[in-house]
A = this chain, B = another copy of it.
Amino acid sequence: MRKVTIGIIGAGRIGRLHANNIINFSDVRLKTISDLSNEHVTDWAKGIGIEQVVTNNEEIINDEEIDAIFVCSPSDTHANIILAAARKGKHIFCEKPISFSIKETKEVLDVVESAGVQLQVGFNRRFDRNFLRIRESIKKGVIGTPQIIKITTRDPKPPPLEYVKQSGGLFYDMSIHDFDMARFLINSEVVQVYSIGTNLIEPYIEEEGDVDTAIISIKFANGAIGVIDNSRKAVYGSDQRVEVFGEKGCLTCENERLTTVEFINNKGAYQDKLKHFFERYKDAFIAEARSFIDSVQTGDPVVCNGNDGLQAGLIASAAQQSHLEGCLIKINQFKE
């Protein structure tokens, strides 16, 4: 099978993570990574075997050898990079979100469709072994018709002010993964959203007009209902759980712990901490990239496409509006 030649735009935490994973794929040539200031990047990139580091995204987008691009730059640059890359016929893996604007997202998807290229959105949790097992079990019918879904996502610590400013807000930055997971597991579109957002953690988040804690109730086209709860600060680590309840039973998945060791003494029993986010999703990130490369090679549909990005974005916008207006938002009547 022909090698796929890859360029990565952005050498921040997530860009490096993808680079470190795909460099080990025997059918991938990781040619270029771009970074605005390539100082420290160069050593690392050379060390793992990336051929070149550039400071200009165009060098990647215009490189005729490059088949596919990983978009790992700040969120507000995603749309323009996708547009440029699609017009050059590159396949695209893009971290979420495609855009903070539903309108712009739709425009981007139109261009991607016309260009006939693959676009995969970085909802890495779809590749997590636990959530995948839940999805498979639902598909096999073990719980019959799903009736209630509950998703918890809580981050270990709030992002710094700079990140908050450009994050798009909790619903667009954090809950969006849960909206995607909800659609992925229930296999039906969300039709209404009601959210309570509040500020219980850091004043600077409130000062930016964002919330740090939220509960979001959702209803699906197929009648199922659900709830998501989010917090920017869980001192015990990255809390990522799902529960799906149906007519024939209930599926849950607990967080993964660093070890299975238990210590018991005269005060009680102690178990280990949770795995850190990147440890928990280590295999999921590899599987996500692998799946994208496979789709590039075979032309098969990607596991999370542009429409998945659009739908999750729509719910995020609706949740934000519900929070601001204090009322239920119906997705099909929703206007930005």
Contact = CB atoms under 8 A, between A and B. Distances in A.
Interface of A: 24, 26, 47-48, 129-130, 133-134, 137, 142-143, 145, 147-148, 150, 154, 194, 196, 198, 200-201, 213-215, 217, 219, 223-227, 229, 231, 233-237, 239, 245, 247-274, 326-328
A162 to B, nearest CB: 23
Contacts of A145: 200
28 contacts: A26-B48, A129-B259, A130-B259, A133-B272, A143-B265, A147-B231, A150-B150, A194-B196, A198-B219, A198-B223, A200-B224, A201-B247, A213-B225, A215-B225, A235-B266, A236-B250, A236-B265, A249-B263, A250-B263, A250-B265, A251-B263, A253-B260, A254-B260, A254-B262, A267-B273, A270-B270, A327-B327, A327-B328
B231 A154 contact: no
A152 to B, nearest CB: 8
Nearest to A272: B268
Nearest to A255: B260
A265 B250 CA distance: 7
Nearest to A197: B225
A217 B194 contact: yes
Contacts of A273: 266-269
Contacts of A214: 225
Nearest to A194: B194
A226 to B, nearest CB: 7
Contacts of A215: 148, 217, 225-227
Stoichiometry (number of copies): 4
Given A215-B226, A229-B150, A328-B326, A261 B253 contact: yes
Given A145-B200, A200-B223, A326-B328, A262 B272 contact: no
A261 B217 contact: no
A134 B263 CA distance: 9
Given A24-B24, A148-B231, A272-B133, A265 B253 contact: no
Contacts of A274: 264
Contact of A26 (B47, B217, B247, B249): B47
A264 B263 CA distance: 14
Contacts of A248: 235, 265
- The 5 A-B pairs of least Cβ separation, nearest first, read A249-B265, A269-B271, A254-B260, A236-B264, A235-B266
Contacts of A259: 129-130, 133, 253
A235 B247 contact: yes
Nearest to A134: B261
B264 A256 contact: no
Given A142-B263, A327-B327, A147 B257 contact: no
Nearest to A274: B264
A289 to B, nearest CB: 16
